[in-house]
Amino acid sequence: MNKESIKAISLFCGCGGADLGLIGGFNYLDNYYKHNPVEIVHASDIDPKAINTYNRNFSHKASVDDIRDLCFKEVDADLVIGGFPCQNFSTVNPTKKPEDRKNQLFWELARVVEETKPKVFIGENVRGFYTLKGGLYFHLAKDRFEELGYKVFHKLVDVSLHGIPQKRKRIFMVGVREDLNIENFQFPIETHGVEGMPSAVPLKSVIDSLIPDDPKYYFSKRAVEGVKRAKPNMKRAVYQNLEEPCLTITSHLAKVSLNSRDPVLLVNEKKELYRRFSPLEAARIQSFPDNFKFVGSQGDAYRQIGNAIPPVYFWKLINSINEQVFDAPYKQAQNIMKRALEPNSYPLL
């Protein structure tokens, strides 16, 4: 990697899932994700509880701010990242109002890009942002970034194909400033669950025991009886197969239901024992290392974990960007120097 630090602005940083991947230097499932030459010059989020967790885990500190109150015209940045709030594009949110411009915070991400003119920006959101109303909101964002002078590449990514034990699909946008002349950008290649690659990482790889440390994680007998009385068309006790990746971890794991597609575990079928995931298990499913500490109540932790970007995938993404964009001129110069030193490297006159 280029020895010079990449200066990054992290917007909607939450508890720091993307930022951990951005910086690197962590272990996950017996793999070490090395440090990246990245300096985060600004990180912020509107949620003070998420910022408490962020500041517990990073040496640089994030601030509690509403992006609409911030100005970055004097900030020097090579990279701007932002997983802007997704609730208003979620397919499972019955109260969403995506047509309300104040809920479309990708405009604010675009404003920061316009103010800082970074070489690269990264945007992330739920699949609904990409598909809702025929992709209307996705194309609004894409068109705006293109107006600002960026070539925009995108991919709907399933992180279970990248060594993470979770079926989680998210849309990623990578914008590269046009003057850098990057004609094509390759997202990280799938390493699991595709032909010629190892199988997807199973849920059991992050579950130490089906028997929880605390009985509070069990669903009550009343909840189980309620499932039996549920209407036939309702999702009933859809427990996870330990041999496969888990369903998507969401922000409301503290209030999971047996009458939904919320991921739960079956501990004992004969005794009808079901339980929810612990925060540690949920964090592992999201690819957080065990030494990442969540501040606040368990409900706070579940929300922060469910809203996070999986660090392992973001680490892979920033490495792909570094190799294809930030390191490209550096490597090109190295190759020119190498050829110049080789005998007969120039044609004879």
Catalytic residues: 86
Mark out the alpha helices in the chain (DSSP H runs).
17-23, 48-57, 106-116, 127-131, 136-147, 221-228, 279-285, 298-307, 311-321, 328-341
Report phi then psi at 323, rounded to 5: -65, -40
* Residue 107, C-beta contacts closer than 8 angstroms, at least 6 positions apart: 101, 144
Place of tokens 């309300």: 100
Beta-sheet pairing, 120-126 with 26-28: unpaired
CA distance 58 to 51: 10
Burial pattern 40-78, b for ≥16 Cβ within 10 A else e, equals: bbbbbbbbebbbbbbbebbeeebeeeebeebebeebebb
CA distance 199 to 161: 9
CA distance 242 to 266: 10
Q: Which of 242, 271, 307, 261 is nearest to 14 (CA)?
A: 307
CA distance 258 to 18: 30
Mark out the alpha helices in 41-117 (DSSP H runs).
48-57, 106-116
198, exposed or middle or buried, with CB in 10 Å at 0-12, 13-18, 19+?
Answer: exposed
Report phi then psi at 10, rounded to 5: -115, 110
CA distance 257 to 262: 6
The answer to whether 12 and 85 are in contact (CB under 8 A) is: yes
Using the 8-state DSSP alphabet, how is residue 249 labeled?
P
